[in-house]
């Protein structure tokens, strides 16, 4: 049974001011109702003024997604009553969106390239935020700081075939938006998704208000299971809107008024139409993920997997390029595999890591001053310091203080000899051809030298000692 998924993605654009007024968009962590003016509070008589930057950002996205920008675009009022919507209408775009008909390339579940078609993108304003107060008397508290934050709504065709594809699409889209510099994915709530999902031949269900990337896959997976179970039991899927309960990982039906909305759209009389099609040609796009991935492979000689990982986030790609100097392949391995793993473990952002220190660490590794194992130890100390907001010491200082410099051959010959002497059984096993015995002995030496020796080199020395019987 084929799964059919289409997405509507609401992205907060990273402008300095709101879509229709000069209030700052930097509202997170601030007191409620402190980023407001007559316009975004919807006070009587206030009039919207369109932010040029928001339109430019929208056009940039349109160009990056290879979209067509119609001759004329227009804002409209979407009328509905809700306490977070101060004017009782949302200024959005309806039948004349900013751009139409685009594409995004993703990998399907078999790893093949596939195209997800973009139906349209349009600009609209974010409503305020409601806090629900429970208890004896239930009511809502409203904060209009978010009211008027510019959103770009991106609507796809129903081209995705699994929850995993939907997630890959979102990751790809997010990367493109970050490359364009129009979006800050680290901001809480900066990307929200409504998903349409159906099983082939059945009714479509809309799942609203998914506010994380992981949430999309989770919500859709839940829905696929729920809908399949319904059909298996001989029931039918009802066409409806459902809400995703992030905490419980389930969707629940949103029955009632919400489903019978008549938004009574009409053109916003307080704003003039846009004629911006001819401006698209002037937009200089930055290097986008696919181009950068290809360049990374060509220029640095790194693997497809490393290139893909490194270009998945523009900040990570920039970081890599800052440290790639001495040995790009070494740098790619360390950044894409080791560093990224350590960052994920600590829930840290790459932005918190000083590139110059990592470059120094790569130098120590390249010059074989320290072993890989010691390198990881140094890296962890550095990241722990960064995470704690402490100054990051130069790796050489840490190596010195912790005595992590690579031990040289002569330095550990006595240790090798001691280990051989202390493990006659293993020596005997080795001589009778049991290969595991060598690893055991090397491991014992490693333990004694606290990772300062290179395991391969140690292996060579230990087997030399054993073979020549040079004890």
Q: Is 48 in the site for another protein (CB under 8 A)?
A: yes
Q: Is 31 in the site for another protein (CB under 8 A)?
A: yes
Please report how close the Cβ of residue 21 comes to another protein at its closest, in angstroms: 7
Phi, psi at residue 404, to the nearest 5°?
Answer: -100, 5
Cα separation of 126 and 166, whole Å? Answer: 24
* Smaller CB separation from another protein, 2 or 138: 138
Q: Is 50 in the site for another protein (CB under 8 A)?
A: yes
Q: Is 87 in the site for another protein (CB under 8 A)?
A: yes
Closest-CA residue to 353 (of 374, 339, 370): 339
Q: Is 53 in the site for another protein (CB under 8 A)?
A: yes
Q: How many residues bind another protein (CB under 8 A)?
A: 67
Q: Is 216 helix (H, G, I), strand (E, B) or coil?
A: helix
* Smaller CB separation from another protein, 39 or 462: 39
Among all chains, which residue has been given the structure tokens 């979209």? 67
* Smaller CB separation from another protein, 131 or 351: 131
Q: Is 244 in the site for another protein (CB under 8 A)?
A: no
Closest-CA residue to 320 (of 312, 332, 305, 302): 332
Among 29, 110, 113, 137, contact with another protein (rule: CB under 8 A):
137
Binding characters for another protein, 212-241, by CB under 8 A (x = yes): ------------------------------
Q: Which stretch binds another protein (CB under 8 A): 66-74, 167-175, 373-381, 461-469?
A: 66-74
With a CB cutoff of 8 Å and minimum separation 6, the contacts of 104 are: 65, 115, 116, 118, 156, 169, 172, 173, 176
What are the DSSP E strand ranges found in 66-211?
Answer: 76-79, 89-92, 99-107, 113-125, 129-133, 139-143, 150-156, 191-199, 205-210
Number of residues in the chain: 471
Q: Is 45 in the site for another protein (CB under 8 A)?
A: yes
* Smaller CB separation from another protein, 15 or 175: 15
Q: Which stretch binds another protein (CB under 8 A): 2-10, 32-40, 358-366, 387-395?
A: 32-40
Q: Is 49 in the site for another protein (CB under 8 A)?
A: yes
Binding characters for another protein, 258-287, by CB under 8 A (x = yes): ----x-xxxx-xxxxxxxx-----------
Cα angle 416-418-423, degrees, rounded to a multiple of 5: 95
Q: Which stretch binds another protein (CB under 8 A): 31-39, 103-111, 298-306, 380-388?
A: 31-39
| Burial call 413-435: b when 16+ CB within 10 Å, e when fewer | eebbeebbeebeebbebbeeeee
Among 28, 38, 318, 367, contact with another protein (rule: CB under 8 A):
38
Q: Is 79 in the site for another protein (CB under 8 A)?
A: yes
What are the DSSP E strand ranges found in 139-296?
Answer: 139-143, 150-156, 191-199, 205-210, 240-245, 250-253, 266-267
Closest-CA residue to 152 (of 16, 7, 11, 21): 11
Please report how close the Cβ of residue 263 comes to another protein at its closest, in angstroms: 9
Which residues of this chain interact with another protein, rule CB under 8 A?
15-17, 21-24, 31-38, 41-55, 71-72, 74, 77, 79, 81-83, 86-89, 130-132, 137-144, 257, 262, 264-267, 269-276
């Amino acid at each position: 049974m084929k799964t059919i998924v289409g997405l509507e993605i609401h992205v907060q654009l990273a402008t300095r001011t709101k879509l229709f007024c000069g209030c700052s968009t930097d509202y997170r962590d601030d007191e409620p109702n402190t980023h407001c003016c007559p316009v975004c509070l919807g006070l009587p008589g206030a009039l919207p003024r369109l932010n040029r930057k928001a339109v430019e950002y929208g056009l940039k996205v349109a160009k990056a997604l290879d979209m067509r920008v119609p001759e004329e675009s227009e804002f409209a009022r979407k009328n509905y009553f809700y306490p977070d919507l101060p004017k009782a209408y949302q200024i959005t775009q309806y039948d004349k969106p900013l751009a139409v008909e685009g594409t995004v390339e993703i990998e399907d579940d078999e790893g093949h390239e596939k195209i997800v078609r973009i139906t349209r993108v349009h600009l609209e304003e974010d409503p305020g935020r409601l806090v629900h107060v429970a208890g004896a008397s239930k009511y809502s508290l409203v904060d209009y700081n978010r009211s008027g934050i510019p959103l770009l709504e991106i609507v796809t065709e129903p081209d995705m075939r699994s929850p995993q594809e939907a997630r890959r699409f979102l990751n790809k889209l997010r990367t493109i938006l970050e490359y364009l510099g129009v979006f800050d994915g680290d901001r809480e709530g900066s990307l929200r998704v409504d998903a349409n999902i159906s099983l082939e031949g059945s009714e479509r269900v809309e799942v609203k208000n998914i506010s994380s990337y992981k949430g999309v896959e989770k919500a859709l997976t839940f829905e696929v299971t729920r809908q399949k179970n319904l059909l298996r039991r001989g029931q039918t899927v009802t066409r409806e809107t459902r809400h995703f309960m992030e905490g419980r990982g389930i969707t629940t039906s949103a029955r009632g008024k919400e489903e019978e909305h008549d938004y009574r759209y009409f053109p916003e009389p307080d704003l003039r139409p846009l004629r911006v099609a001819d401006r698209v040609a002037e937009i200089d796009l930055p290097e986008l993920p696919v181009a950068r991935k290809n360049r990374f492979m060509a220029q640095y000689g790194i693997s497809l997997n490393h290139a893909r990982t490194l270009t998945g986030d523009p900040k990570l790609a920039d970081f890599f390029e800052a440290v790639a100097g001495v040995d790009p392949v070494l740098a790619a391995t360390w950044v894409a595999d080791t560093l990224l793993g350590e960052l994920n473990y600590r829930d840290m952002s790459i932005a918190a890591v000083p590139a110059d220190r990592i470059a120094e660490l790569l130098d120590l590794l390249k010059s074989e001053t320290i072993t890989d194992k010691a390198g990881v130890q140094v890296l962890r100390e550095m990241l722990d310091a960064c995470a704690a907001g402490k100054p990051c010491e130069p790796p050489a200082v840490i190596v010195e203080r912790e005595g992590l410099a690579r031990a040289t051959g002569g330095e550990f010959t006595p240790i090798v000899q001691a280990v051989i002497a202390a493990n006659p059984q293993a020596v005997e096993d080795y001589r009778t051809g049991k290969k595991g015995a060598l690893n055991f002995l090397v491991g014992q030496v490693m333990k004694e030298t606290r990772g300062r020796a290179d395991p391969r080199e140690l292996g060579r020395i230990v087997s030399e000692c054993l073979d020549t019987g040079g004890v």
